Amino acid sequence: MKKMMLLLVLPIFCLALFVSEAPAPTFPSPPDMSIVKSCTDASGPGQPIEFSAVITNLNVDQGLIITSCTDDQPGSVIDSLPGEIAANGTATIYGRYVPTTSPSTDIITCTGYGSITGPTITVTKSSNPATCTYPTYEGCTRTPGYWKNHPDAWPVPTIDIGGTTYTKAEAISWMDKPVKGDKTLTMFKALVAAKLNMLSGADTSCIITTIGAADAWMAAHPVGSVVEASSEAWKSGECLYGMLDAYNNGYLCVEHCD
């Protein structure tokens, strides 16, 4: 009878021993990441600073799903999010913004969650500050001929003249036309150069009122509308042109770049 009871108890004991020695279930550690940011200097005022950020999934046992990334500079654009980053893997995101100061510093912040632990447990991390600059052209002025022949030096891709926005190519096309008695072309070329000098960092304190008046003149007499030198319209515009021409050649406010 004792032997039979021992046989009945033994399997239960062995089962208990087996259960006690079974490995405890493991769970992924909380999601984590690091972000390293870098940037490339802008080509000039009004041009974008390009940046990139390398996101590293610091978790070795689950993927990282990125749900959002934001840059602290106003107007920043981020191309796309990487989606899921494999365990211990990396992904790079790209973007850009137009700086308002030089140098300019920004930080990117991303949020994500683990592919196993799910969206109820999130992680948010910020990158290192990345600082880039843009050339200021030393605050000197250049003539219409320079701006016509150096499109890569333009600090902006478009320019507003008389309330009309022209692309760089459109403005240069007008600047390349011979005047042939049409003084709207004379004014257009001088005003484009003055505005590009201003946007490149040249002082305009002595000419800003004239620039505004010339803009109003171009609004009333659009480029190509044919204003003759003997006309009443040019009598009011000629003085404005003279001031713009003097400014572009370095006789007002600041010196010429050459």
Domain-terminating residue out of 98, 132, 166:
132
Q: Of the candidates 75, 108, 132, which is a domain's last residue?
A: 132
Contact (Cβ atoms closer than 8 angstroms) between residue 146 and residue 192: no
Query: For 113-117, what is the mean pLDDT?
Result: 95
Supply the range of the domain harboring residue 158. 137-248
Neighbouring residues of 162: CB distance < 8 A, sequence distance ≥ 6: 215, 216, 217, 218, 219, 220, 221, 222, 223
Same domain? For 104 and 150 the reply is: no
Q: Return the percentage of the chain with pLDDT > 70, whole number.
A: 88
- Tell which phi-psi region holds residue 57, choosing left (phi > 0), alpha (psi between -120 and 50) or beta: beta
**pLDDT over 50 (residue 63):** yes
**Which among 43, 222, 247, 252 has a CA at the least distance from the CA of 150?**
43
The pLDDT of residue 138 is 61
Reported pTM = 0.52
Rounded to an integer, what distance in angstroms lies between the CA atom of residue 134 and that of residue 114?
A: 39
> Can you tell me the mean pLDDT for 151-171?
93
Same domain, 212 and 165: yes
Per-residue pLDDT tens over the stretch 169-204? 999 999 999 999 999 999 999 999 999 998 888 888
Confidence label for 3 from pLDDT (cuts 50, 70 and 90): very low
Task: Identify the CA nearest to 164 among candidates 92, 218, 240.
Answer: 218
Q: Does 58 score more than 90 pLDDT?
A: yes
Question: Are 110 and 141 within one domain?
Answer: no
Question: In this structure, is residue 14 part of a structural domain?
Answer: no
Q: Is residue 121 part of a domain?
A: yes
23 belongs to a structural domain: no
Residue 170: its pLDDT value, please?
97
pLDDT at 6: 46
Q: Are 230 and 126 in contact (CB under 8 A)?
A: no
Q: Are residues 220 and 124 in the same domain?
A: no
For the chain, the average pLDDT equals 89
Query: Does residue 8 surpass a pLDDT of 80?
Result: no
Q: Of the candidates 93, 111, 132, which is a domain's last residue?
A: 132
- pLDDT confidence of residue 27: 74
What is the tally of structural domains in the chain? 2
**Can you give the CATH number for the domain in which 63 is found?**
2.60.40.10
pLDDT band at 52 (very low <50, low <70, confident <90, very high): very high
Q: Say if CB 198 and CB 254 are below 8 A apart.
A: no
